[in-house]
């Protein structure tokens, strides 16, 4: 038993040590984040994944929609690079190869960003965004995920959670199988609801805040973020309870955007 306790103690100590030494700072918000996975590795890994995704998708290469995605993407990416330079983060530019693609799927009102700045927008989103400014809200939100290294932080927390799960499995290995399964299930739910989901919601809120500044620097009125998210809310239908959702409740999101608008408007009016 002493040997078992020793292994558990070592695993937990390793998790604690990693969380203390591998931290970076999120732009604008100033929050300290866990970063166990090098950004260069994340960017390299996403290259093949993005190519594979595009190869399996119906990519729109012409027409006004594709032109809008390229135009807005270029403007927001340029603003993001300028922001990084202004804030002494020029070294981070090597991690990004900004790519913006429009994927034909009229039933999906969504967009996503892979590490390295590889972004896809679905055609189902365009009727909701409406114009370049509405599209800029979403694109800036996705670019914000990239420069905030949210993918790396999520992977880091998953690694820590997995390490904790291994420690728990060792600690209960002598208990009956039914007890082990129940305890591991409880750990999984606890880690998801107690740690991983809250961080996902925090990432969404941070991307909203950072995105407001990026779109403002790109010349788009950040005040249009509120009606855009209101339209997204109307199109979204039923949502799970906030504590079980990876995204903030729409009312919470809009309230937070209102709170951070003055910060972005300073940049917009000063550009």
Catalytic residues, by residue number, are 142
At 128, is the secondary structure helix, strand, or coil? helix
CA dist., res. 32 & res. 198, Å (int): 15
CA dist., res. 2 & res. 167, Å (int): 14
CA dist., res. 56 & res. 42, Å (int): 21
Which residues, at least 6 apart from 26, have a Cβ–Cβ distance to it below 8 Å? 32, 33, 148, 149, 206, 210
Q: What is the largest CA-CA distance in the chain?
A: 68
Helix H or strand E encompassing 118: strand 118-122
Parallel, antiparallel or unpaired: strands 99-103 and 118-122: parallel
Are 152 and 131 contacting, i.e. CB atoms less than 8 angstroms apart?
no
Decide: residue 87, CB within 10 A, 0-12 exposed, 13-18 middle, 19+ buried.
Answer: exposed
């Amino acid at each position: 038993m002493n040997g078992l306790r020793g292994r558990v103690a070592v695993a937990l100590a390793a998790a604690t040590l990693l969380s203390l030494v591998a931290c970076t700072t999120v732009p604008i918000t100033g929050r300290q984040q866990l970063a166990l996975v090098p950004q260069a590795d994340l960017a390299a890994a996403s290259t093949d994944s993005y190519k594979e995704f595009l190869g399996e998708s119906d990519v729109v290469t012409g027409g006004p929609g594709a032109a809008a995605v390229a135009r807005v993407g270029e403007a927001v990416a340029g603003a993001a690079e300028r922001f990084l330079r202004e804030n002494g983060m020029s070294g981070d530019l090597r991690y990004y190869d900004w790519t913006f693609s429009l994927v034909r799927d009229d039933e999906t009102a969504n967009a996503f960003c892979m590490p390295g700045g590889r972004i896809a927008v679905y055609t189902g989103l365009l009727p909701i965004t409406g114009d370049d400014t509405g599209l800029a809200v979403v694109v800036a939100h996705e670019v914000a995920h990239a420069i905030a290294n949210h993918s790396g932080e999520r992977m880091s927390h998953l690694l820590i959670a997995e390490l904790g799960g291994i420690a728990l499995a060792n600690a209960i290995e002598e208990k009956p199988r039914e007890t082990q399964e129940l305890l591991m299930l409880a750990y999984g739910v606890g880690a998801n609801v107690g740690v991983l989901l809250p961080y996902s919601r925090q990432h969404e809120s941070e991307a909203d805040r950072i995105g407001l500044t990026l779109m403002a620097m790109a010349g788009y009125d950040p005040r249009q973020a509120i009606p855009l998210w209101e339209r997204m809310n109307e199109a979204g239908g039923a949502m799970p309870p906030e504590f079980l959702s990876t995204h903030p409740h729409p009312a919470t999101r809009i309230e937070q955007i209102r709170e951070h608008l003055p910060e972005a408007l300073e940049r917009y009016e000063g550009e």
